[in-house]
Amino acid sequence: MGRTLHQAQTRAQWLKHHAKELGFTSVGISRVRKLDEEAPRLEAWLKQDMHGEMAYMEGNFEKRLDPRKLLPGTQTVVSLLFNYHNPTLSSDPEAPRIAQYALGEDYHFVLKWKLKELLKWMKRDWGDVSGRVFVDSAPIMERAWAAKSGLGWIGKNSLLLNKQRGSYFFLAEMLLDVDIEPDAPATDHCGSCTRCIDACPTDAIVKPYVVDGSKCISYFTIELRGAIPEPVQGHMEDWMFGCDICQEVCPWNRHSTPTTEPRFSPHPRLLDMTKADWLDLTEDVFKEVFKDSAVKRTGLAGLTRNIAFLQSGEVGHKKAPPGSGEA
């Protein structure tokens, strides 16, 4: 028993040290179990159609609750944070905006490579270990696991918040078939603050800790394939891909520091583009600027749709949110 415990502790120390060598800012460890307490919340969210057209959210319900259905034999869930904060602003204050996470290279590829390296090192140093790595690529309740492993708490804007690092970070996971000493869960530190709720221009945060995904600017600009609903016009706050409003107003992000990962730096041309450049965006420029970017997900057609929608709804800045009853 003592030897097994010592081995689990040693593995935890090894894992956190080597993950930081690869640039991960924090690592949290949980023993695997079924997340029964998450089931009612997920079911209610889906029944209220808060996932909009994101049909993939309806599938793999049991897998979302129990990682052992993704990797039989899993004993440990490892959650990792990677800072992407890039507060550099466009040279043109009137240019449409892109969420910070998408300013650099596509995080799926950058982080997946790092996770595979970490797993390779584990096999080299630990011997017989099997696992799978994920970066927003499988039905895993990543924020719930990160909170259980002490990396932060799920805030009123539904994002993971960390007292030292705010929320500008990617989440990644490893499922492993070995026992590793777990960390203690984090506690909630949102208190009475409602800044994210008050700031959301589309009222997507319908109540504390519940975000109606089908009302979120990120949904409209990335996930939605058809036309953006007319009532949203004038409420997009210049966001053409994603949205950071609920992060920008969060007090915990005063602790955020810029990323040190070069691959998450914006393309040199990106921040120099003016509003006029975006309105005249061509396929050649799109391919150059977003060659390795997550923005490719929406494609040129989707991005130009978003830009045109912003332009047609331009009435200065923030109006009354849709459904508020104000003129």
| Catalytic residue from among 66, 92, 136, 203 | 136
Please give the single-letter amino acid code of residue 78.
V
Long-range CB contacts (within 8 A, 24+) of 104-107: 104/261, 104/263, 104/264, 104/265, 104/266, 104/267, 104/293, 105/263, 105/264, 105/292, 105/293, 106/292, 106/293, 106/294, 106/296, 107/82, 107/135, 107/136, 107/170, 107/264, 107/294
For the chain, helix, strand, coil in percent to 5 are: 40, 15, 45
Contact 153, 161 (CB under 8 A): yes
Q: Let me know if 136 is a catalytic residue.
A: yes
Residue 251 neighbours by CB distance under 10 Å = 14
Distance CA 214, CA 275 (A): 27
* Intra-chain end-to-end CA distance of the chain, in Å: 68
Tell me the catalytic residues: 136
